[in-house]
Amino acid sequence: MIEMNALGQPVGPLLPDWAPPPAPTRMSMQGRYCRLEPLALDHAPALYEAFSEDQTGGLWTYMPRGPFDSIDAYRQWMWGAVQSADPLHYAILVDGRPLGSASYLRIAPGAGSIEVGWITYAPALQRTRAATEAMYLMMRWAFDAGYRRYEWKCDALNAPSRRAAQRLGFSFEGIFRQAVVVKGRNRDTAWYAAIDRDWPAIRDAMERWLDPTNFDENRMQHQSLSALTRSALVATG
């Protein structure tokens, strides 16, 4: 039911218990399959080696950085990244080996909004339970901390990223045309988000998918995450 003010104008619902959540800190997050740690220069050699397993360079097509032609070039980028508070970068470790990175960004506690981005997965991390769990851990922290809105944005031409967003329970919200210029090219940006009332269903779906009983002896899934999160999507695209 839409609320009306004294002038007969429609207004949003009051949030009497609303309090801005804290900004994320350089904390670690431990899961069953992976661990997230604040990005550090010590991660550079292992991450560069893992990313170098991508022989085509396609890993970097839609990223505003990369590819890096040397570890020195990668370390130079990382020097700024490790000092940044927004984006706040994390390394993703599997069995102690850094295999990817991701960040919180556009951190707006006053609005209760936060975005996940800069997601870079080495080939060894892609399409694994650890890859999904890393996103689960970051989303769980945000909603447990009190954020109301959790965003995912990508190049509108990046079909794998758009599929990944919806697989993880993010609803499609539209295309921002000519949003930015990346590597000298126009980028239309696809927007996705999950909000706090979506989170219980998404959380349950992710936890069901990540449970070891969802996989057989050959590590094949019994239920897909896309099937489990489908009911949480408000819109697709």
Residues 98-150 have pLDDT tens digits of: 999 999 999 999 999 999 999 999 999 999 999 999 999 999 999 999 999 99
In this prediction, residue 144 carries a pLDDT of: 98
Q: At what angle do helices 129-145 and 199-210 cross, to 10 degrees?
A: 150
Pick the CATH number of 28-232 from 3.30.110.40, 1.20.20.10, 3.40.50.720, 3.40.630.30: 3.40.630.30
Dist. CA 229–CA 231, nearest whole Å: 6
- Mean pLDDT to the nearest integer, 165-185: 98
Other beta carbons less than 10 A from residue 52's beta carbon? 15
pLDDT value of residue 182? 96
Residue 74 near residue 48, CB atoms below 8 Å? yes
**What are the tens digits of pLDDT across the range 54-86?**
989 999 999 999 999 999 999 999 999 999 999
Q: How confident is the model at residue 169 (pLDDT cuts 50, 70, 90)?
A: very high
Residue spans of the domains in the chain: they are 28-232
Task: Give the integer Cα–Cα distance in Å for 15 and 197.
Answer: 14
Cα–Cα nearest to 134, from 86, 170, 168, 87: 168
What pLDDT score was predicted for residue 192?
A: 98
- Classify residue 25 by burial, with Cβ atoms within 10 Å: 0-12, 13-18, 19+: exposed
Burial (Cβ within 10 Å: 0-12, 13-18, ≥19) of residue 121:
buried
Angstrom distance (rounded) from CA 151 to CA 192 = 6
Residue ranges in 114-186 assigned as alpha helix (H): 129-145, 159-167
Q: What is the Rg, in whole angstroms, of the alpha carbon atoms belonging to the chain?
A: 19
Q: Per-residue pLDDT for 5 more than 90?
A: yes
Q: Which of 147, 144, 90 is nearest to 115 (CA)?
A: 147
Give the pLDDT score at 124: 98
| pLDDT of 228 | 97
- pLDDT in the model for residue 117: 98
Please name which of 196, 170, 45, 70 lies closest in space to residue 117, comparing C-alpha atoms.
170
As given in the structure block, the two tokens for residue 226 are 């896309």
What pLDDT sits at residue 93?
98
- 1 pLDDT above the threshold of 90: no
